[in-house]
Structure 1
């Protein structure tokens, strides 16, 4: 493991608790100095001190509210221009505020700002900096809701579908610059996001909720295996491959000159 100060830097958003805090721990143990980004200074400072003591890293704190443009700009500046930054984990996000028609507009706006706008702008900074340095990894935490539809999560599911497609398209843009992009699609995870949305996690079906530790370890294993899309709870990778094959089979027919017969008034005659 390299000496602290000579180690690469990993920027982790939403690092004060849950998935982000576990990522910070695992990456510190893999030889990174984590930059912990979130709003809660006290939690971030406590985590940084714990990581510095237990792993020998030099974790630092970046207090930022990523629903605010100026804070996004400040974190983006470091990601793009600090030559030690080699990994970005876009973990910060908000859960569903409920049915779109009756959810508070401000809550929906904050969700879109954090889940989409902040993630995109930080990824852009990483794409620019990593691309010039010709090394780096972007990990975007999405959700299984990118592949699943349910009432009460229209904005959330839409934002996570964006994360999936954005990450995959960004990889195509960066593949020749030695930058790797991974989208992680967790199912239900044991974090306090449930309580913040008024849901008792104990009410969820038995056997469906993964621990944050297992999630992050599986996601990092997927990264080690070179997966651009990692679904930590999926037992058989062939299921994802079949999904991909079905999607690819649609591609030749997504843009054609002729309208199909079923859409013609004359039935195609």
Structure 2
């Protein structure tokens, strides 16, 4: 617990978009906030807004999670500071380009943030949560995990990592007091797309969700006990069917002989 006795939530990428929406929602539902992002000025402005409108405390922790120093500082805070009851691993960006034409420096930065930083912070949070036998982790993937879009291989793969990592983490958390949610957004109306060189106007309005609605769905899914939240999918049994198909493939993924269609016949 934080010093105020309210549970403490750490949100990465807190200074804009989905991260800011999480901060506002969590503050309104009784959490103190530990806000992490690169820009101190934006964090301080958010702190002023939240503390003026809610009976909550906001601690700002400026850190660039693409850098070893920034990542280590936040991970150490999770391991050694006052207990963080909820980690929202939101920070991320998209480096796009066709294979063979990618900006490899941007690709490396994206992997540092979307994959390595997320994994390190999750590890630090889980180490502490296991001692406490409680806590919540929200990992943000992307609907692109279901798609093979030219020019999106690197970003899509980074979000496939988030998905696979989180689903195994869910299996490891079974039987504990720790909740782990996989959140799978579609197109969300934030600056994310502008930064990635995309234009939201390319998408039909009926395909674009607000960050506020996304976060509302995520937190409601926690209340419902849904480990996977795909906010715009009307029937969660579609996900169940996806998992069932995986299980059928898994059952035959390792056999002593190739399938009959690969046998050479004379």
Partner of 2:219: 220
Asked if 2 retains the 8 angstrom alpha-carbon contact of 1:4 and 1:56, the reply is: no
Asked if 1 retains the 8 angstrom alpha-carbon contact of 2:2 and 2:83, the reply is: no
- Kindly provide the CA deviation profile for residues 155-213 of structure 1, in whole angstroms up to 9, marking residues without a partner as x: 11001111111001011112233111111000000011111122221121231000010
Note if 1:11 corresponds to 2:32: no
Secondary structure in structure 1 of the residue aligned to 2:10:
strand
- Kindly provide the CA deviation profile for residues 32-53 of structure 1, in whole angstroms up to 9, marking residues without a partner as x: 1111100011111000111111
Quote the Cα distance in structure 1 between the aligned partners of 2:263 and 2:109: 43
Quote the Cα distance in structure 1 between the aligned partners of 2:176 and 2:56: 28
Asked if 1 retains the 8 angstrom alpha-carbon contact of 2:11 and 2:89, the reply is: yes
TM-score, with structure 1 as normaliser:
0.95
Output aligned runs, 1:38-49, within 5 Å: 38-49=37-48
Shift of 1:235: 1.4
Q: Which runs of 4+ in 1 moved over 4 A?
A: none
Shift of 1:83: 3.9
Structure 1: gaps (5+ residues): none
- Count of residue pairs brought into register by the alignment: 266
- Superposed CA RMSD in Å reads 1.6
Shift of 1:81: 2.2
Output aligned runs, 1:193-212, within 5 Å: 193-212=192-211
Shift of 1:3: 9.8
Partner of 2:228: 229
Partner of 1:58: 57
Partner of 1:254: 253
Quote the Cα distance in structure 2 between the aligned partners of 1:180 and 1:203: 36
- Kindly provide the CA deviation profile for residues 44-89 of structure 1, in whole angstroms up to 9, marking residues without a partner as x: 1000111111011100100000001121111011112234311000
- Kindly provide the CA deviation profile for residues 201-235 of structure 1, in whole angstroms up to 9, marking residues without a partner as x: 11212310000100110111111111111101111
Greater Cα offset, 104-113 or 167-176: 167-176
Structure 2: gaps (5+ residues): none
TM-score, with structure 2 as normaliser:
0.96
Partner of 2:149: 150
Partner of 1:139: 138
Quote the Cα distance in structure 1 between the aligned partners of 2:22 and 2:159: 19
Quote the Cα distance in structure 1 between the aligned partners of 2:131 and 2:171: 16
Output aligned runs, 1:24-173, within 5 Å: 24-173=23-172
Greater Cα offset, 160-169 or 247-256: 247-256
